[in-house]
């Protein structure tokens, strides 16, 4: 799905094991800008990611995790994968970190969802 350009977002949902309510969600929006010149490079802003993971706080040790892939229309079906819905982000705020990963013109902008302060 990366080679075809159909992968749009990868999300990690961290949720309460009994209620199913969202604790955190991390989104990586895939950005395509292929380059055919040079050897390219790969970078990840690990300092920025570490800072924001600490800032978001720890998930409870009994939390459950779900990995979701959002695709653009026209993507090829993958055997064993099915459709699902995102958990509700009501009462949460999205914090954008900007572009945090880049390789050969393929990048990912990262954001996370956290509980809104009252």
53-104 pLDDT, tens per residue? 777 777 788 999 999 988 888 887 878 888 889 999 999 999 888 877 776 6
Alpha carbons within 13 A on the beta-carbon side of 70: 13
Kindly tell me if the per-residue pLDDT of 38 is higher than 70.
Answer: no
Distance in angstroms (rounded) separating the CA atoms of residues 31 and 56: 24
Quickly count: other Cβ atoms within 10 Å of residue 7's Cβ: 19
Q: Is residue 8 within 8 Å of residue 71, measured between CB atoms?
A: yes
Domains of the chain: 7-77+87-115 (3.30.900.10)
Q: What are phi and psi of 46, to 5 degrees?
A: -65, -35
pTM: 0.73
Query: In the prediction, which pLDDT does 104 show?
Result: 67
Tell me what percent of the residues of the chain surpass a pLDDT of 70.
Answer: 80
C-alpha span between 33 and 40 (Å, rounded): 12
């Amino acid at each position: 799905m990366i080679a075809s350009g159909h992968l749009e977002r990868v999300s990690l949902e961290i949720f309460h094991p009994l209620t199913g309510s969202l604790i955190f969600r991390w989104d990586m929006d895939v950005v395509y800008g292929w380059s055919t010149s040079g050897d390219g490079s790969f970078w990840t802003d690990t300092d920025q990611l570490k800072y924001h993971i600490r800032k978001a706080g720890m998930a409870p040790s009994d939390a459950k995790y779900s990995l979701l892939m959002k695709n653009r229309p026209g993507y090829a079906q993958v055997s064993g994968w099915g459709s699902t819905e995102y958990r509700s982000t009501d009462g949460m705020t999205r914090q954008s970190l900007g572009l945090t990963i880049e390789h050969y013109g393929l990048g990912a902008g990262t954001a996370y969802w956290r509980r809104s302060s009252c």
